Amino acid sequence: MRENALFDLHVHTKYCDGEGTPDEIVRAAIDKGLEAIGFSGHSYTAFDEEVCMTRKGTDRYEERVRQAAKDYADKIRVFCGIEQDYYSEEPTDRWDYVIGSVHYVRVRNANGEPAYPSVDETPQLFEEAVEKYFGGDVYAFAEAYYDVLSDVVRKTGADIIGHFDLITKFNAGGENGGKGRFFDESHPRYVAAWQKAADKLLETGAVFEINFGGMNRGSRMEPYPSRPIIEYLDARGGKFILSSDSHNASTLACWNR
């Protein structure tokens, strides 16, 4: 593929939490003039009952994507990938590529059992997780998140590192001196946490995605990761791709038409 080819490799379907079949989405991608599209359904993750694909749904997803790849081979290249959550234990060798993402942090609840608070579900759940599992210390939550993220390429075998600073999803605006709703993104503990993860992930040579999903859904004004992180990675030889994290065909390649 040309370096400036129009493609989008972070796309969800009805088999996880998106809308539309692979066939419908490929047709929309052709209409938009894309040269390639890659699907990245959420990998089956045992404790997640809402967002990810079921095991059976995963087979169906692959079947449908591979079929669309054949049906439209003369018009567009279609890849069948996966968005592999850090805590998913499914094998990944069947996929054309892997986006490695962290959506949860594993902690212990009061009874010593594992719990998986999500960093991106709702602001209320975010706040609750900080209180319940991190003694009200939001920076401890961020440190735990980046600690898991720093290991995402080793654990998932990712080619692409998904939405690096997803933990900032609900942080825009707020009362905190204009510095963020839940935490200050220039706080030394926050910066040290992401820099440590960035340094470790840069060593892997995996590609960082610049993810427009939050912007597509109108929940934020900038992509993931934030500008200081992109500049840090860029200065150290990080490689990037742009992706829409589309959950319906209208946001493919980050623009509506």
Residues engaged in binding Zn ion (CB under 5 A)? 83, 101, 245
Position of tokens 């379907």?
A: 13
Residue-wise DSSP of 65-81: HHHHHHHTTTT-EEEEE
Q: What's the 3-state SS for 146-199? A: HHHHCCHHHHHCCCEECCCCHHHCCCCCCCCCCCCCCCCCCCHHHHHHHHHHHH
Number of neighbouring beta carbons within 10 Å of residue 97 = 17
Residue (84 or 183) nearer to Zn ion, CB? 84
Residue (8 or 245) nearer to Zn ion, CB? 245
238: helix, strand or coil: coil
Q: Provide the minimum distance between the beta carbon of 37 and Zn ion in the complex, in angstroms, as a whole number.
A: 14
Q: How large is the C-alpha radius of gyration of the chain? A: 18
Q: Provide the minimum distance between the beta carbon of 12 and Zn ion in the complex, in angstroms, as a whole number.
A: 6
Q: Provide the minimum distance between the beta carbon of 16 and Zn ion in the complex, in angstroms, as a whole number.
A: 8
Residue (48 or 83) nearer to Zn ion, CB? 83
Q: Provide the minimum distance between the beta carbon of 17 and Zn ion in the complex, in angstroms, as a whole number.
A: 9
